[in-house]
């Protein structure tokens, strides 16, 4: 990491952040500022870790204000998957592309959260499920998706989705997409009905939430894309640019009746404003339910679009945000700056 930082290697972008002990500042590995002495440097995997250790972002490379671009290698691998969504991309194929397989596995998993081959397999099977649900014949799907035999296709399909393709026509699928933001990558899950999940990938409990949704909806999860995912990506870009504060992507609120009441109330809090847990409890005709409001907020996995970050303590202090209090403060400051630039 030190060698990559000193050389400002573009391939290190998004893999780690560099903090300088003597200045209290953290940077991107490609920052063009004067390089510090090696003994003054430490490394962090995420912006959150650097902030929590007391460092502030560099004003030159602005590690918190610019969307993290994926490393060039990750982009090449994603493009390779889209060009070859049938069959397999083997280590030999990677070598032909002048890509070291171990490097591909390491960088892709670091950035996407799963290995390159696992991503390719999931993308391939997600497309197969889409074909099944749209009524294509199983033999055509088997051939188009690169399976040598019907039994191999059925085995792979059943292993991923829990039932054979012949019984999967009505099975729903949540499509997953990683969304880059100035506050770190987010996971978005959507189906034809709307957006089910949008949260920071490092949020504790997110994996459990996805598993719960899979079980409750009896659905599969696979990498993919649809109109709702395209919409949320575009609208998040506008939000972080300060040109949009409200979202119109269809939402699917999956929770208890009380949680859904709280979440719908959250949707009415305007940007640039905050309310207290006590105020919300009173509005919901449950004046003794401050803690219940807080728990419902904590179960919200549609971050930013269902703005639980706009709820604070009655004394004005921050508490209780699944993405971390530093993100909550950033979001509130960003909304105020965007709406009231002169204040």
The CATH number that applies at residue 151 is: 1.10.10.60
User: Residues 6 or more apart from 69 whose CB is under 8 A from it?
Assistant: 13, 14, 180
The CATH number that applies at residue 334 is: 1.10.10.10
Domain range for 275 is 257-339
Q: Are 252 and 260 spatial neighbours (Cβ–Cβ below 8 Å)? A: no
Examine residue 330 and state whether it is found in any structural domain, yes or no. yes
From CA 17, how far away is CA 258, in angstroms rounded? 41
Please give the structure tokens belonging to residue 79.
Answer: 């493009």
> Quick one: pLDDT band at residue 274, thresholds 50, 70, 90?
very high
Q: In 10 A of CB 312, how many CB atoms?
A: 19
Q: What share of the chain is helix, strand, coil (3-state, %, to 5)?
A: 45, 15, 40
Model pLDDT, residue 66: 45
Model pLDDT for residues 187-234, shown as the tens digit of each residue: 999 998 999 999 998 888 888 888 888 888 877 787 778 899 999 999
Q: Are 135 and 150 spatial neighbours (Cβ–Cβ below 8 Å)? A: no
The CATH number that applies at residue 223 is: 3.30.160
Domain boundary (148, 167, 186) is at 167
Examine residue 19 and state whether it is found in any structural domain, yes or no. yes
Model pLDDT for residues 59-114, shown as the tens digit of each residue: 888 787 544 566 778 888 888 887 776 667 788 888 888 888 888 888 787 776 67
> Quick one: pLDDT band at residue 147, thresholds 50, 70, 90?
confident
Model pLDDT for residues 155-196, shown as the tens digit of each residue: 877 776 666 777 666 667 888 888 888 888 889 999 989 999
From CA 144, how far away is CA 149, in angstroms rounded? 12
Query: Is 319 a known active-site residue?
Result: no
Domain boundary (167, 192, 218) is at 167
Q: 160 and 86 in one domain?
A: yes
From CA 80, how far away is CA 117, in angstroms rounded? 11
Tokens 């188009």 belong to residue: 144
Q: Are 45 and 18 spatial neighbours (Cβ–Cβ below 8 Å)? A: no
Q: Where are the beta strands (DSSP E) in the chain?
A: 17-20, 25-27, 41-44, 56-57, 173-179, 186-191, 194-200, 220-223, 275-276, 311-312
3-class secondary structure, 275? strand
Least confident of 24-38, 152-166, 305-319: 152-166
Please give the structure tokens belonging to residue 93.
Answer: 């194929």
Which residue, 190, 184, 189, 188, is CA-closest to 202?
A: 184
**Active-site residue, selected from the candidate residues 31, 173, 290, 308:** 308
Examine residue 246 and state whether it is found in any structural domain, yes or no. no
Q: 290 and 323 in one domain?
A: yes
From CA 199, how far away is CA 205, in angstroms rounded? 10
Whether the model pTM is above 0.85: no
Examine residue 148 and state whether it is found in any structural domain, yes or no. yes
Q: Are 174 and 219 spatial neighbours (Cβ–Cβ below 8 Å)? A: yes
Question: Burial of 51 by CB count in 10 Å (0-12 exposed, 13-18 middle, 19+ buried)?
Answer: buried
Q: 297 and 267 in one domain?
A: yes
Overall domain count for the chain? 4
Model pLDDT, residue 219: 78
């Amino acid at each position: 990491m030190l060698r990559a930082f000193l050389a400002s290697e573009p391939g290190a972008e998004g893999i780690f952040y560099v903090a300088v002990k003597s200045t209290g500042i953290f940077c991107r590995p490609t920052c063009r500022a004067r390089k510090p002495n090696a003994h003054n440097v430490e490394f962090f995997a995420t912006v959150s870790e650097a902030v929590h250790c007391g460092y502030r972002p560099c004003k030159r490379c602005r590690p918190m204000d610019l969307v993290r671009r994926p490393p060039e290698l990750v982009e090449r691998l994603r493009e390779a998957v889209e060009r070859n969504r049938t069959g397999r991309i083997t280590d030999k194929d990677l070598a032909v592309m002048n890509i070291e397989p171990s490097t591909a596995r390491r960088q892709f998993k670091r950035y996407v959260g799963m290995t390159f081959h696992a991503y390719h397999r999931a993308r391939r099977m997600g497309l197969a499920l889409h074909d099944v649900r749209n009524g294509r014949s199983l033999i055509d799907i088997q051939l188009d998706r690169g399976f040598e035999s019907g039994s191999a296709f059925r085995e792979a399909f059943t292993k991923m989705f829990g039932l054979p393709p012949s019984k999967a026509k009505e099975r729903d699928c949540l499509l997953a997409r990683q969304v880059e933001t100035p506050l770190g990558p987010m996971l978005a899950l959507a189906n034809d009905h709307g957006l089910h999940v949008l949260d920071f990938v490092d949020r504790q409990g997110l994996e459990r939430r996805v598993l719960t949704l899979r079980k409750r909806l009896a659905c599969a999860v696979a990498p993919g894309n649809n109109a709702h995912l395209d919409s949320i990506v575009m609208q998040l870009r506008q939000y972080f640019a300060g040109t949009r504060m409200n979202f119109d992507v269809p939402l699917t609120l999956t929770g208890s009746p009380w949680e859904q009441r709280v979440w719908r109330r959250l949707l009415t809090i305007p940007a640039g404003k905050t309310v207290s847990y006590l105020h919300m409890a009173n509005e919901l005709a449950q004046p003794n339910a401050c803690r219940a409001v807080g728990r419902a907020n904590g179960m919200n996995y549609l971050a930013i679009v269902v703005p639980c970050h706009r709820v604070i303590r009655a004394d004005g202090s921050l508490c209780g945000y699944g993405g971390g209090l530093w993100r909550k403060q950033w979001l509130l400051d960003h909304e105020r700056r965007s709406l009231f630039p002169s204040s």
